[in-house]
Amino acid sequence: MSHDYAALFAEREHERFALHERHLNEQMVRVLKAIGYDVGFTRGSGQYLYDRTGDRYLDLLSGFGVFALGRNHPVLREALVSVLDAELPNLVQMDVSTLAGVLAERLLARVPYLDKVFFANSGAEAVEAAMKFARSATGRPGLVYCDHAFHGLSYGALSLNGDDIFRQGFEPLLPDCIRVPFNDLAALERALASRAVAAFIVEPVQGKGVNVPADDYLARAAELCRRHGTLFVADEIQSGLGRTGKFFAVEHWNVEPDMVLLSKSLSGGHVPVGAVLARRHIFEKVFNRMDRAVVHGSTFAKNDLAMAAGIATLDVLDSERLIDNAAQMGDRLLRGFTQMMSRYEMMAQVRGKGLMIGVEFGPPKSFKLKASWHAVETANKGLFCQLVTIPLFKEHKVLCQVAGHASHTIKLLPPLVITAEDCDWILRAFEAAIADAHRGPGAVLSLGKTLVDHAIKARRAG
């Protein structure tokens, strides 16, 4: 059998939807066909994707945030090929990994208040580790999380999920997990008052909805945690590594968490990885004796390819000044969207930090548009956003999606390598699609027709 994967891809890529319908999650294929996203991407480079016909798309999803460096960065390729060529003694287990030591050293150099790193294979695994570490370090059962939080979908992480749609059908979840509204210090204080809470786990900027905290929220939450003997854990799996224009998003508010969780971009877009950066006293409680040296861990964690991807990613963030670029391009986009708001009454709010931006829509005041808004929203809550995202994709070749179930917010999470020209492309495309959505009943009818046409086509093809 040949192992030419370019040839295999070329030979079989036309069957991708059929293969998934047959062997994987066919509902995903139905979704893609219904909204016309079944174009068949064949190549990815930097911030761009290319479909079968050669059309170029600007990717504002970044694979849910893993492509900070863009796709197929040459430095990542060099790093990974060099690991394979070196024939390193990977995953010996009864040894310790050199590359893991180096990556830990380089991560910790950026956070002088944290001392230790635990590596995992994904975001959810980093969250699971932090939950266990917090219980072990404090001897307390409670875990506090926020409304609309997203920390992953394994059982522990799901128990901290602030959207019921993800939980339904999978209960019972972990006990002693307490939900509080995001941005509500009084509710947090009430939850912590029992002094039975091990940790408050929070995304500095929430991924679902792109919710940005009030300016004093995180610092005062950290202070409340300290006062109640609760660990403050920042889930920076999406917001970390430069995404918001700082290395960690918590730096915007001068907060020093007890644990910081990373994953996504640390992979360089190639090799899954997760990390928990923690204070020394937490590690000393968890790994407190020789017979507990492997009390928590995972077979593939610290594998050489993942560690090399992490080291190379940190290097490219610096050498290409991508954190500064995220701050500058983010400002440019926020300014552009803010100006746009005065022209379109259904634009309700624009918010974000760096290149984590939410454009929220809301009901209009004018009579003509009210009817269209209600027609779309009655059919399906959150459908209004598809009035914008479908033409963005089809007509303007901009890939993005809504920021959660039944959400009225479109989320932008582009690679940190985007340029001023890309920002102009984004703003031009949104302006045209939003203007069209404000045309009134015509726009709604055309969305209805598009969805029905796709459904018919999908049924025929299926």
Which one of 34-42, 234-242, 301-309, 431-439 is the stretch in contact with ligand PLP (CB under 6 A)? 234-242
Rounded to the nearest 10 degrees, the angle between the axes of helix 185-192 and helix 217-228 is 10
Residue 218 or residue 346: which is nearer to ligand PLP going by CB? 218
207 binds ligand PLP (CB under 6 A): yes
CB of 13 to ligand PLP, least distance (A): 25
166 binds ligand PLP (CB under 6 A): no
Residue 162 or residue 245: which is nearer to ligand PLP going by CB? 162
Residue 17 or residue 232: which is nearer to ligand PLP going by CB? 232
Residue from the set 123, 310, 330, 391 that interacts with ligand PLP by CB under 6 A: 123
**Three-state DSSP string of 66-132:** CCCCCECCHHHHHHHHHHHHHCCCCCCCCCCCHHHHHHHHHHHCCCCCCCEEEEECCHHHHHHHHHH
Q: How far is CA 1 from CA 13, 146, 319, 418, in A?
A: 18, 51, 40, 40
Q: Of these residues, 38, 59, 235, 304, which one is catalytic?
A: 235
- Would you say 388 and 34 are in contact if contact means Cβ atoms under 8 Å apart? no
Q: State phi, psi for 67 to the nearest 5 degrees.
A: -100, 55
240 binds ligand PLP (CB under 6 A): no
Within 360-379, which residues bind ligand PLP (CB under 6 A)?
none
CA atoms 358, 370, 432, 391: torsion sign = positive
Residue 158 or residue 437: which is nearer to ligand PLP going by CB? 158
Q: What is the DSSP letter of 246?
A: S
283 binds ligand PLP (CB under 6 A): no
Residue 140 or residue 148: which is nearer to ligand PLP going by CB? 148
238 binds ligand PLP (CB under 6 A): yes
Residue from the set 39, 233, 237, 259 that interacts with ligand PLP by CB under 6 A: 237
Alpha-carbon dihedral of residues 426, 429, 435, 440, nearest 10 degrees? -120
Q: Per DSSP, what are the bridge partners of residue 202?
A: 234
CB of 455 to ligand PLP, least distance (A): 28
Residue 237 or residue 399: which is nearer to ligand PLP going by CB? 237
Which one of 146-154, 331-339, 362-370, 453-461 is the stretch in contact with ligand PLP (CB under 6 A)? 146-154
127 binds ligand PLP (CB under 6 A): yes
Angle at the Cα of 436 (from 430 to 440), degrees rounded to 5?
A: 140
218 binds ligand PLP (CB under 6 A): no
CB of 243 to ligand PLP, least distance (A): 10
Q: Of these residues, 33, 116, 208, 264, which one is catalytic?
A: 264
124 binds ligand PLP (CB under 6 A): yes
Count residues contacting ligand PLP (CB under 6 A)?
A: 14
**Three-state DSSP string of 330-359:** HHHHHHHHHHHHCCCCCEEEEEEECCEEEE
For the chain, counts of helices (H) and of strands (E): 18, 15
Residue 244 or residue 372: which is nearer to ligand PLP going by CB? 244
Q: How far is CA 383 from CA 34, 129, 410, in A?
A: 13, 37, 11
- Report how far residue 256's alpha carbon sits from residue 262's, in angstroms, rounded to the nearest whole number: 15
145 binds ligand PLP (CB under 6 A): no
Which one of 166-174, 232-240, 347-355, 373-381 is the stretch in contact with ligand PLP (CB under 6 A)? 232-240
Active site residue 118: no
Active site residue 264: yes
- Report how far residue 390's alpha carbon sits from residue 375's, in angstroms, rounded to the nearest whole number: 17
Structure tokens at 357: 């931006």
- Would you say 198 and 141 are in contact if contact means Cβ atoms under 8 Å apart? yes
Active site residue 133: no
Which one of 73-81, 88-96, 233-241, 355-363 is the stretch in contact with ligand PLP (CB under 6 A)? 233-241
200 binds ligand PLP (CB under 6 A): no
Residue from the set 47, 62, 97, 122 that interacts with ligand PLP by CB under 6 A: 122
268 binds ligand PLP (CB under 6 A): no
- Would you say 414 and 356 are in contact if contact means Cβ atoms under 8 Å apart? no
- Would you say 286 and 132 are in contact if contact means Cβ atoms under 8 Å apart? yes
142 binds ligand PLP (CB under 6 A): no
Residue 47 or residue 238: which is nearer to ligand PLP going by CB? 238
Residue 88 or residue 124: which is nearer to ligand PLP going by CB? 124
- Report how far residue 401's alpha carbon sits from residue 393's, in angstroms, rounded to the nearest whole number: 10
37 binds ligand PLP (CB under 6 A): no
Q: How far is CA 67 from CA 45, 62, 78, 209, 348, in A?
A: 10, 5, 17, 20, 29
Residue from the set 50, 64, 300, 425 that interacts with ligand PLP by CB under 6 A: 64
- Report how far residue 307's alpha carbon sits from residue 83's, in angstroms, rounded to the nearest whole number: 10
The three-class DSSP label of residue 278 is strand
- Report how far residue 47's alpha carbon sits from residue 45's, in angstroms, rounded to the nearest whole number: 6
267 binds ligand PLP (CB under 6 A): no
Contact positions vs ligand PLP (CB under 6 A)? 64, 122-124, 127, 150-152, 203, 207, 235, 237-238, 263
Catalytic residues: 150, 235, 264
